[in-house]
Amino acid sequence: MSEEKSRSHKAQKVIQRMGQKLNRQITGSLVACVHCGMCTDSCHYVLANPGDPTYAPAYKADRIRKLFKRHFDWTGRVFPWWVKAGSVFTDAELEELKDSVFGKCTNCRRCSLNCPMGVDFATINRMARGLLVSVGIMPEGVAAVSKDQWEIGNQMGVLKEDYLETLEWMEEELQDEMDDPEVKIPVDQTDCEVVYSINPREVKYDPRSIADAAKIFHLAGEKWTMPSEGWDMTNFGLFSGDDDLGGSVAQRLYEKVIELRGRKLVISECGHGYRSTRCEGPNWAKFDVPFEMESSVTTMLRYIKEGRIKVDKTPNTKSVTFHDSCNNARSCGLFEEPRELLRLVVDDFREMHPNRAENYCCTGGGGAMSMSEYTPQRLKSGVTKADQLKATGAEVVVTSCHNCVDGLTDVIRHYEVDMEVTQLVNLVANALVK
């Protein structure tokens, strides 16, 4: 039997589709590795599993790289044994690859930053995820969340009526709290300066963040609105590697802002949402976005600098440290804004080490929170994060990412760290001078 005939349909499709994904960025990372090993200790999975080479970024990359060498690179056709070219033949082999690309990496890009050859392993890993997803091989959670985002329009399957009811509920709470019936959470207002998009986690588990943001917009005198639909700024396409899902989700949001004639899209605190919506979405959707996009961290800082809101540190009495979300910091360069804002609203701020682009993943990146089959190894990989947190001695860890809130909460519980988790919007709202 020829090699081609002995290959399963899924394996054939994976190889064929890999050829369509090979752009300059991916090919560069597939050919540039010299196996120097300098990226190895940058990975939190490696640090938690000493002696197990299967967690090393270069090892994980080679499992994908061998396909490229065998099928698309001339070196693999001429000297396959020399360049370690190889192929996949069975669905079982694809399932094994799934456990590596979804279960042993959070696509945090810390190894990418530490590679002297510029190899971006996370990009290769994301491509491999997308190839497997395209033939239906993925963790159950990835399939469920992707389905919700395709069909219901948001990652957590929040229905429109539940979303609108939550906004109404938060509006009433705010009116009571501020003793002002004029405080509103506007929906579908046209010609606003700001259209505010959120993470569905805020509707489901953390509606207070919506009320806190509304309070800030109100006191800043902002002309703002929330969209009734297309409001989810998160994007599971970043995690699953499905560019079609990524483009569709991003475009839904862009089109809603255009329909409302909004001048600026403000993205609430979410690392992957910010990266997907502001940086990757226009490429996935092939969409020329005609409005500005800004993280709410930048918006809050701007309001203080412009004198539109006033803050007083006194109510925020606890010591805090800051966890940089991989997507916000390493991938989008949002390091200084959250620190500048934090220093304006708290007295006792302690840096975590390492920080900024070198910070370690919360363990929940890359959609890991939705993949329950890998929870034990995810929690095991959290030991470095737990040590980082403990070393600060802070009472509170602040992060600008809903995913990180969940990842950190799990690490804190598992390693019995005495620490709360919160976000900047909560601290700023608490420090507002009315």
Amino acid at 116: P
Among 14, 33, 94, 137, binds ligand SF4 (CB under 6 A): 33
| Spatial distance between the Cα atoms of 363 and 384, rounded to a whole number of angstroms | 10
**In the complex, least distance from residue 430 CB atom to ligand SF4, rounded to whole angstroms:** 33
Spell out the residues 6+ positions from residue 35 whose beta carbon is closer than 8 angstroms to its own: 58
Among 67, 111, 250, 431, binds ligand SF4 (CB under 6 A): 111
Q: Which residue, 105 or 192, has its beta carbon nearer to ligand SF4?
A: 105
**In the complex, least distance from residue 238 CB atom to ligand SF4, rounded to whole angstroms:** 13
- DSSP reduced 3-state for 51: coil
Among 38, 144, 164, 344, binds ligand SF4 (CB under 6 A): 38
**Residue 404 interacting with ligand SF4 (CB under 6 A):** no
Q: Which residues in 381-400 contact ligand SF4 (CB under 6 A)?
A: none
- The radius of gyration of the chain's CA atoms, rounded to the nearest angstrom, is 22
Q: Which residues in 119-148 contact ligand SF4 (CB under 6 A)?
A: 119, 121-122
| Spatial distance between the Cα atoms of 26 and 61, rounded to a whole number of angstroms | 12
Among 39, 128, 195, 429, binds ligand SF4 (CB under 6 A): 39
**In the complex, least distance from residue 133 CB atom to ligand SF4, rounded to whole angstroms:** 17
**In the complex, least distance from residue 118 CB atom to ligand SF4, rounded to whole angstroms:** 8
Measured in whole angstroms, the distance separating CA 382 from the mean position of its chain's CA atoms is: 17
Q: Which residue, 101 or 257, has its beta carbon nearer to ligand SF4?
A: 101
**Residue 43 interacting with ligand SF4 (CB under 6 A):** yes
**Residue 329 interacting with ligand SF4 (CB under 6 A):** no
- Per rule CB under 6 A, count of chain residues that contact ligand SF4: 25
* Beta-sheet pairing, 264-267 with 292-295: parallel
Spell out the residues 6+ positions from residue 174 whose beta carbon is closer than 8 angstroms to its own: 183, 185, 211, 214, 215, 218
| Spatial distance between the Cα atoms of 54 and 260, rounded to a whole number of angstroms | 50
**Residue 428 interacting with ligand SF4 (CB under 6 A):** no
**In the complex, least distance from residue 46 CB atom to ligand SF4, rounded to whole angstroms:** 7
Q: Which residue, 160 or 353, has its beta carbon nearer to ligand SF4?
A: 353
| Spatial distance between the Cα atoms of 198 and 336, rounded to a whole number of angstroms | 22
**Residue 37 interacting with ligand SF4 (CB under 6 A):** yes
What mask of x and - would describe binding to ligand SF4 in positions 70 to 109, judged by CB under 6 A? -----------------------------------xxxxx
> What's the angle, vertex CA 100, arms to CA 95 and CA 103, rounded to 5?
100
**In the complex, least distance from residue 35 CB atom to ligand SF4, rounded to whole angstroms:** 5
| Candidate segments 53-61, 69-77, 126-134, 382-390, binder of ligand SF4 by CB under 6 A | 53-61
**In the complex, least distance from residue 175 CB atom to ligand SF4, rounded to whole angstroms:** 45
Among 16, 23, 36, 387, binds ligand SF4 (CB under 6 A): 36
| Spatial distance between the Cα atoms of 256 and 276, rounded to a whole number of angstroms | 16
Q: Which residue, 40 or 189, has its beta carbon nearer to ligand SF4?
A: 40
**Cα–Cα separations (whole angstroms), residue 210 to 173, 217, 269:** 11, 11, 11
Beta strands in 282-423 (DSSP E): 292-295, 320-323, 349-350, 396-399, 420-422
Residues in the chain: 434
**Cα–Cα separations (whole angstroms), residue 117 to 29, 37, 289:** 8, 11, 33
Q: What backbone torsions phi and psi does residue 282 show, to the nearest 5 degrees?
A: -60, -35
Q: How many CA atoms within 13 Å lie on the side-chain side of 92?
A: 0
Binding site residues, ligand SF4, CB under 6 A: 33-39, 42-43, 45, 57-58, 60, 105-111, 115, 117, 119, 121-122
